């Protein structure tokens, strides 16, 4: 074996090893199923976002640049178009009554969508007489009431509709009461609030400040206000979810998982430039459904998601 061939072979082995290592799931606590792999379900989208699970385990998600909402059938693994003209919806979340809440930022609104008819009801159009900046992500607490983030991501489709300047006096987190009579701010000191998710008991809310590269933890009060702001981890996120053990899943460079103490316990690499959001799907809530740029993926899990 000549020297040049030997060097080339060594380089090829090193490259192959690097690729393999990049593709491996890092799991310190056994949260993924044995032999779990990241599986592409479908590609061909522009930018997928906002996965949300219904009672049947199906996952609805958005392709925001194309103004569409799709539905992934947990039983057949098929994806079908649910609705066109979706208000440029971004984040989605299901209420207990089966209706879907959508952060519809075409006109900076918050929508409620019937998952069977596809008809929408506009819940929020403004705050203190001005439009919102552009609702991004939502979480519905078990007792009712909706938390949503309102950062600013200027959209190309805002041309001719409105200014790309910030409408509100900052980028905040809001709460809409269950009876829809009260809308108020609950966090006003964040740089760029984005993903958020709460615990199944409704007592704790996690909010990612992607601009500051931090995720915060709050106590949720009965009236909807947030108290006891505490640093959860030194990482921001686009979207978020949580499992039955209290582990929090953040996105961006694949999916990074932190335990309830804020310590990193897993990383799931995704072969896309950006991983936007994540939720648990299927009837047993043991399939991690990932929206990442132009495609969506699944990973079989040992832990179960909460709904």
pLDDT per residue rounded down to tens, the chain (307 residues)? 444 434 433 333 333 332 333 459 999 999 999 999 999 999 999 999 999 999 999 999 999 999 999 999 999 999 999 999 999 999 999 999 999 999 999 999 999 999 999 999 999 999 999 999 999 999 999 999 999 999 988 887 776 656 677 889 999 999 999 999 999 999 999 999 999 999 999 999 999 999 999 999 999 999 999 999 999 999 999 999 999 999 999 999 999 999 999 999 999 999 999 999 999 999 999 999 999 999 999 999 999 998 7
The three-state (H, E, C) secondary structure of the chain, written as one string: CCHHHHHHHHHHHHHHHHHHHHHCCEECCCCECCCCCCEEEEECCCCEEEEEECCCCCEEEEEHHHCEEEEECCCCCCEEEEEECCCCEEEEEECCCCCEEEEECCCCEEEEECCCCCCEEEEECCECCECCCCCCCEEECCCCCEEEEECCCCCHHHCCCCCCCCCCCCCEEEEECCCCCCEEEEECCCCCEEEEEECCCCCEEEEEECCCCEEEEEEECCCCCEEEEEEEECCCCCCEEEECCCCEEEEECEEEEECCCCCEEEEECCCCCCCCEEEEECCCCCEEEEEECCEEEEEEECCCECC
d(CA 246, CA 261): 9
- Partners of 287 in beta bridges: 281, 300
Q: Note if the pTM is more than 0.75.
A: yes
Q: Please state the domain extents for the chain.
A: 3-300
Residue 47, C-beta contacts closer than 8 angstroms, at least 6 positions apart: 63, 64, 65, 276, 293, 294
Residue 253, C-beta contacts closer than 8 angstroms, at least 6 positions apart: 269, 275
**Phi/psi zone of residue 85: left (φ > 0), alpha (ψ -120 to 50 degrees), beta?**
left
d(CA 297, CA 40): 4
The answer as to CATH 3.50.50.60 being correct for domain 3-300 is no
> Cα-Cα-Cα-Cα dihedral of 9, 10, 16, 20, to 10°?
150
d(CA 263, CA 286): 22
């Amino acid at each position: 074996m000549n020297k040049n061939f030997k060097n080339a072979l060594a380089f090829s082995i090193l490259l192959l090893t690097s690729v393999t290592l990049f593709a491996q799931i890092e799991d310190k606590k056994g949260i993924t199923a044995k032999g779990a792999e990241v599986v592409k379900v479908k590609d061909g989208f522009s930018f997928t976002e906002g996965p949300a699970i219904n009672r049947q385990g199906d996952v609805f998600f958005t392709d925001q640049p194309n103004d569409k909402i799709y539905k992934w059938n947990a039983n057949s693994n098929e994806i079908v178009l649910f609705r066109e003209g979706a208000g440029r919806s971004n984040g989605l979340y299901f209420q207990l009554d089966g209706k879907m809440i959508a952060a519809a930022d075409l006109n900076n609104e918050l929508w409620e969508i019937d998952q069977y008819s596809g008809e929408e009801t506009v819940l929020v159009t403004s705050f203190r007489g001005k439009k919102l900046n552009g609702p991004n992500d939502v979480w519905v607490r078990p007792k009712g009431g909706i938390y949503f983030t309102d950062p600013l991501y200027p959209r190309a489709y805002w041309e001719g509709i409105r200014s790309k300047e910030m409408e509100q006096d900052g980028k905040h987190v809001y709460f809409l009461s269950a009876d829809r009579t009260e809308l108020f701010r609950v966090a006003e000191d964040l740089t760029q609030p984005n993903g958020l998710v709460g615990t199944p008991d409704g007592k704790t809310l996690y909010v990612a400040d992607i601009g500051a590269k931090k995720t915060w933890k709050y106590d949720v009060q009965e009236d909807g206000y947030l108290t006891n702001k505490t640093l959860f981890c030194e990482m921001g996120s686009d979207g978020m979810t949580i499992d039955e053990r209290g582990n929090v899943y953040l996105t961006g460079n694949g999916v990074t998982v932190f335990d309830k103490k804020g310590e990193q316990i897993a990383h799931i690499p995704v072969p896309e430039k950006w991983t936007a959001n994540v939720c648990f799907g299927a009837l047993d809530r043991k399939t991690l459904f990932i929206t990442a740029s132009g495609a969506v993926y699944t990973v079989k899990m040992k832990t179960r998601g909460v709904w």
